[in-house]
Amino acid sequence: MKFEWCGLLTLLLIAPAAAFQAGAAKRDVTPSLDRTVFIAGFGHNRTATAVHDPIWVRCLAISDGKTTIAFVGIDVIGFFYEPDVVLVRQKVKQLVKEPVIVLIASTHNHQAPDTLGLWGPTPMQTGRDEEYMTLLREQIARCVVEAVSSLEPATLIFAKDDRKELAELQLDDRLPYVKDHTLCVLQAVSRKTGKAIGTLVNWANHPEVLGSQNREITADYCWALYERLEELVGGIAVFWNGAIGGLISPLGEELKVTDPTTSKPAPEASFRKAELIGRFVAEVAAEAVKGKQAIKLEKGSLRALLQPVFVPLQNPLFRVAAGIGVIKRPLYTKGELDNRTAETKLQQDGSTIAAKIVLGEDVRSEVGVAAIYDPSGKKPIALFLLIPGEIYPELVYGNITRYSGADFPDAPFEPVLMEHALKTGAKFVFVVGLANDEIGYIIPQCEWDEQPPWLNNAPQRPYGEVNSVGWKAARIVNEGIVNLLKTLMGGEATAKP
């Protein structure tokens, strides 16, 4: 199998145990409605008419004195590795003297500005506002700098919760029905004041409660999660999403959330339903960090490994979108920048129109792992799997399944991430979706289905493939992360760097 590596971007050896430090910051990145704002996530030409609540960049920075990691969450649909993540890291490097490993994960909010370009006025026009993107990148970098500048001695608290009520807030609408409802929490508490500095929550669910008709900017259920968690524990709340492909969502009449004030289900696609979900998740997180099973660390060490990878852009719609400027990210062929385009013909509203298609073969993305160790430095207490898109849960937790009608029914299974993550001995595994990129749905090859007959003789095609870069992505992403896990444990990677 062709597997292209660009060399390790970051490889930090485990340092001797040192006292942890932490800092946190948040910045409002709500766009001005003086300009047209296209809301991402559902259809075209959904323009914002009002702001219900702010959207944020939020950062929890942790340092062991030698290595500093910035855990950044942003309330947008996605954030490209190139140009966006790369430019933010360059800006941080300019502003901070000491090296900072910047990890940026989008919440995948479906009620925020189009940061990818796919939800503009028409399929042929981008929804990405480059002036806003410049502002967003600047604010992310400034937020990281602010968090790092406020580092102070801290105790780290790790906790998790898997109560069934969390699962009841997740729908899964594609076979095989695999989801993980575990909520993981990392909290930093000031050793000077005993107060929370910041709390990072990791849980899997699409922030799309408000649905396709909403035209108010909002962080969706994350809005209430932030407010309630900060009310309960103080400090700054950060949210990182999980394995949400497949599709893990709270959207739909069948998912009912009882409103305690009325004893009736909250209205579908309502701010009240979003509020109840966010508040509940926050309350679970707050309870977890105070529970008997939580683990506290004052000393330890950090490690992070980040690996750029080339992922084939197989989706013809995305290739056209890149050709006409709807999607704006560089393409590569055999590791070299490739700006070539060609003319093509498209059918639109019964007419044939001319368009351009990119000829470059790949996008450059990134996979990664990060780990927090106890003073022994032997096994990580917490492990972070940094996945650059919306991964199908079976690729993380297992139960990849062969179905009749699949395009590649005999394709070998990709490695299952959790099987390898648990070999590290980590007690807490944070599965981080949309980390440092958004390449769309990451689907097992043997479940891929673009051509009829459809999976399991279904009457219509499954959803997912249309918003994926292609069927090769899953193996590249999972094998990349597995190789990093082997490196983390001191073993040999199966592909040469």
* Strand positions, DSSP E, 75-162: 101-106, 152-161
Distances (CA, A) of 206 to 211, 233, 250: 11, 24, 7
pLDDT for the residue 246:
95
State the average pLDDT for the chain: 95
> How confident is the model over 463-474, as a mean pLDDT?
98
**pLDDT reading at 479 higher than 50:** yes
pLDDT per residue as tens digits for the range 323-347: 999 999 999 999 999 999 999 988 7
What gap in Å lies between CA 92 and CA 70, rounded to an integer?
Answer: 11
> How confident is the model over 430-437, as a mean pLDDT?
99
pLDDT for the residue 232:
99
What gap in Å lies between CA 109 and CA 112, rounded to an integer?
Answer: 6
What gap in Å lies between CA 256 and CA 268, rounded to an integer?
Answer: 8
Sign of CA dihedral 427, 433, 434, 437: positive
Please give the distance of CA 373 from its chain centroid, rounded to a whole number: 23
Distances (CA, A) of 126 to 40, 204, 212, 426: 11, 28, 18, 42
Contact 63, 98 (CB under 8 A): no
pLDDT for the residue 346:
82
Question: Global pTM?
Answer: 0.95
> How confident is the model over 268-296, as a mean pLDDT?
98
Considering the chain, what percentage of its residues have pLDDT values greater than 90?
92
CA-nearest of 214, 359, 204 to 281 is 204
What gap in Å lies between CA 477 and CA 223, rounded to an integer?
Answer: 30
> How confident is the model over 23-38, as a mean pLDDT?
99
> How confident is the model over 250-263, as a mean pLDDT?
96
pLDDT for the residue 345:
87
Q: 455: helix, coil or strand?
A: helix
DSSP states of 206-268: -S-TT-SS--EE--THHHHHHHHHHHHH-SEEEEEE---TTTEE--STTS--EETTTTEEPPT
Segment holding 144, helix H or strand E:
helix 130-149
> How confident is the model over 286-311, as a mean pLDDT?
98
pLDDT for the residue 495:
34
Core vs surface per residue 267-282: b (16+ CB within 10 A) or e:
ebbbbbbbbbbbbbbb
Contact 55, 109 (CB under 8 A): yes
Helix and strand tally (H, E) in the chain?
9, 27
Neighbour-count burial of 338, counting CB atoms closer than 10 A to its CB (0-12 exposed, 13-18 middle, 19+ buried): middle
Neighbour-count burial of 451, counting CB atoms closer than 10 A to its CB (0-12 exposed, 13-18 middle, 19+ buried): exposed
**Other C-beta atoms within 10 Å of 240: how many?**
29
> How confident is the model over 214-237, as a mean pLDDT?
99
- Which amino acid makes up residue 455? L
Sign of CA dihedral 447, 452, 457, 461: positive
> How confident is the model over 346-351, as a mean pLDDT?
78
What gap in Å lies between CA 372 and CA 202, rounded to an integer?
Answer: 15
> How confident is the model over 218-238, as a mean pLDDT?
99
**pLDDT reading at 3 higher than 60:** no
**pLDDT reading at 17 higher than 70:** yes
pLDDT for the residue 478:
99
**pLDDT reading at 12 higher than 60:** no
pLDDT for the residue 16:
60
**pLDDT reading at 404 higher than 60:** yes
**pLDDT reading at 8 higher than 50:** no
**pLDDT reading at 14 higher than 90:** no
- Angle at which helix 130-149 crosses helix 86-95, to 10 degrees, equals 40
**pLDDT reading at 95 higher than 60:** yes
**pLDDT reading at 493 higher than 70:** no
Tell me the pLDDT band of 351, cut-offs 50, 70 and 90. confident
Q: 165: helix, coil or strand?
A: helix
Please give the distance of CA 483 from its chain centroid, rounded to a whole number: 20
pLDDT for the residue 256:
97
**pLDDT reading at 4 higher than 70:** no
What gap in Å lies between CA 286 and CA 299, rounded to an integer?
Answer: 23
